[in-house]
Amino acid sequence: MLLDHDQQAVIDNLRHTQGPESVVEALQKAAALTEHAAYEIARQGNGPTVAELILSAARLERISRLVAQNYGIE
């Protein structure tokens, strides 16, 4: 997978963190990147793929909130 410098820096940073907070952060960033991908694909008019990505981003956000709640993270 080809990543730009900023994307790679985010992934490298997440790989060096541990604990529930890092899980929540990773899920939130994954959701944001997935949503960004959806918007980029939307420019090309691929509706079904965009819808699937938006739903995936929402699922990741929901999971991040559940993890945060389970560990008492605000």
Residues 4-56 have pLDDT tens digits of 788 788 788 888 888 999 999 999 999 999 999 999 999 988 888 999 999 99
19's torsion region: left (phi>0), alpha (psi -120 to 50) or beta?
left
**With a threshold of 0.85, does the pTM exceed it?**
no
Q: How far apart are CA 70 and CA 72, in angstroms?
A: 6
